[in-house]
Amino acid sequence: MGILKEKFKHYYEDPRYTSLIDVGLFILLIISFHFLYLGWQALDYWPIKKAIDKLSLWSVEMVYGQACWVLEHVFNLDLTTDSVRRIIATPNNEGGWAWIGIAPECASLKQWLHWIFLMLIFPGPWKHKAWHIPAGLVIIEWTNVVRICGVLLMLIPWPDSFHLAHDYIFKVFFYFIIFVMWVIWVEVFVHPKRKKKAKQNQDINTQTTNI
């Protein structure tokens, strides 16, 4: 086990492999959490089901209110809403209705937990994790608002585009934002000294070559 750890450390400290290992670890953690979350769902969020239910309800109500505000005040849409079922509707371009319903699965809860899981396990200084994790949660929440608004806005000119918008465009966009936040973490907080040292070595080699 010690030999494997030393080999991993050797490859990880080699600039040729560092980025590849980082991306591999990111993918492994994302996929691992997905299946862990599915398993936890199957267990009905034992042993903190009541807390998760309350958090889920709160997150649904929050994203519903935020999406309504953005659609009304930023995009100036004429909305018809149902706060009980959390439905947001507006006339589409074909004389019908473009509408979406915000279910618990549409809230940011899973992505919040995804982000916390990723950041707690991934290497990096804890003094920066203390603010980077909460900042990421806020960004994820507003990314979800963009996702919900984006789906509804696409349904106005293209009423049959729900699955394209919901399952592909904005779901990919959601995880792309998480990936970007992770890249910032790795580039700015995990490897800054290593990158600085590599740059210094490169400058020395350049000076030596010029001499």
Q: What is the pTM of this model?
A: 0.86
Q: With respect to residue 46, please indicate whether it lies within any of the assigned structural domains.
A: no
Q: What's residue 112's pLDDT?
A: 95
Q: With respect to residue 79, please indicate whether it lies within any of the assigned structural domains.
A: yes
Q: With respect to residue 204, please indicate whether it lies within any of the assigned structural domains.
A: no
Q: What's residue 1's pLDDT?
A: 60
Number of domains present in the structure of the chain: 1
Q: How confident is the model at residue 128 (pLDDT cuts 50, 70, 90)?
A: very high
Q: With respect to residue 202, please indicate whether it lies within any of the assigned structural domains.
A: no
Q: What's residue 209's pLDDT?
A: 54
Q: With respect to residue 25, please indicate whether it lies within any of the assigned structural domains.
A: no
19-65 pLDDT, tens digit per residue, is: 888 999 999 999 999 999 999 999 999 999 999 999 999 999 999 99
What DSSP string describes the chain?
-HHHHHHHHHHHTSHHHHHHHHHHHHHHHHHHHHHHHHHHHHTTTTT-HHHHHHHHHHHHHHHHHHHHHHHHHTS----EEETTTTEEEEE-TTSSEEEEE--GGGSSHHHHHHHHHHHHHS-S-HHHHHHHHHHHHHHHHHHHHHHHHHHHHHHTT-TT-HHIIIIIIHHHHHHHHHHHHHHHHIIIIISHHHHHHHHHHHHHHHHHHH-
Q: With respect to residue 8, please indicate whether it lies within any of the assigned structural domains.
A: no
Structural domain span for residue 81: 51-190
160-202 pLDDT, tens digit per residue, is: 999 999 999 999 999 999 999 999 999 999 887 665 555 554 5
Q: With respect to residue 22, please indicate whether it lies within any of the assigned structural domains.
A: no
Residue 74 has pLDDT above 70, yes or no: yes
Residue 141 has pLDDT above 60, yes or no: yes
Q: With respect to residue 5, please indicate whether it lies within any of the assigned structural domains.
A: no
Q: How confident is the model at residue 211 (pLDDT cuts 50, 70, 90)?
A: low
